[in-house]
Amino acid sequence: MNGKKSNIAVLILAAGSSKRLGKPKQLVKFKNKTLLQHSIDVSEALDLSEKIIVLGANEEKILNEVDLKNHKLLINSNWQKGMSTSLKKGLEEIRNLHPTIEHVLVLLSDQPFISELVLQELIDKHLTANCLASFSQYQEIPGVPAIFSREIFPDLMRIEGDRGARDLIKNGFTNYQLVSFEKGIVDIDTEKDLQFLKKLEHEA
């Protein structure tokens, strides 16, 4: 990237309890690194001025095992009410304290195949397109990582429960583009997912 993009923030959502997995998926290891640390390291590699991470469940345990580097920490005490609460907490921070931010890049803590290259492509395509949102696409599903322009922040603030920005599309939002990221389909929600990830690591 040529020069620091002072108008883009990175927001890592990592507040969930991983109830279906039975242990913090943020701390699952892949290639000798926790999944959350991988997300942080990839985010750190981007030359963006604002970096924020939202934690909630298992906060102390996670902080003992990961290095936040240059990411500002926000604690979501309402994490039990779903992912939307973490998204909104991060957006509130950005809107109130960082008025020059025009776009927010949203990451999760359980996608082992995100990379600087993947995120840079998403950012570049978003900045050159005339749209308000750019989603990653895997198996014809729109998802994260995703980047949103400031004009759509109010719509994101209206999402409720354990829902993500994909709800915008379900509600008729059309001003978006999709950027292919097939390996984005690999995330960790269940023990079956974890075993699949271990298989991938063994094969790599």
* pLDDT at residue 191 greater than cutoff 80: yes
- The amino acid that residue 169 corresponds to is I
Strands (E), 47-132: 48-55, 72-75, 103-108
Strands (E), the chain: 5-14, 29-30, 33-34, 48-55, 72-75, 103-108, 133-138, 141-149, 176-180
Q: For the segment 22-36, what is each residue's pLDDT rounded down to a tens digit?
A: 889 999 999 999 999
Contact (CB, 8 A) for 9 and 98? yes
CATH no., domain 5-203: 3.90.550.10
Q: Indicate whether this model's pTM tops 0.85.
A: yes
Mean pLDDT, rounded, of the chain: 90
Q: Is 196 helix (H, G, I), strand (E, B) or coil?
A: helix
- 183: which DSSP letter? G
Q: For the segment 74-109, what is each residue's pLDDT rounded down to a tens digit?
A: 999 999 998 999 999 999 999 998 889 999 999 999
Contact (CB, 8 A) for 77 and 143? no
Please state, in angstroms and rounded to a whole number, the distance separating the CA atoms of residues 174 and 172. 6
What is the pLDDT, as a whole number, of residue 1?
A: 40
- The token pair at 128 is 């050159």
Listed in sequence order, the residues at least 6 apart from 59 whose beta carbon sits closer than 8 Å to its beta carbon are: 75
Contact (CB, 8 A) for 61 and 31? no
Contact (CB, 8 A) for 129 and 45? no
pLDDT winner (highest mean) among 3-7, 27-31, 40-44: 40-44
* pLDDT at residue 202 greater than cutoff 90: no
pLDDT grade for 2, boundaries at 50, 70 and 90: very low
* pLDDT at residue 198 greater than cutoff 80: yes
Residue with token string 């999709």: 178
Question: How is the chain split into domains, by residue range?
Answer: 5-203
Backbone angles phi, psi at 163, to 5 degrees: -120, 155
- The token pair at 45 is 């590699």
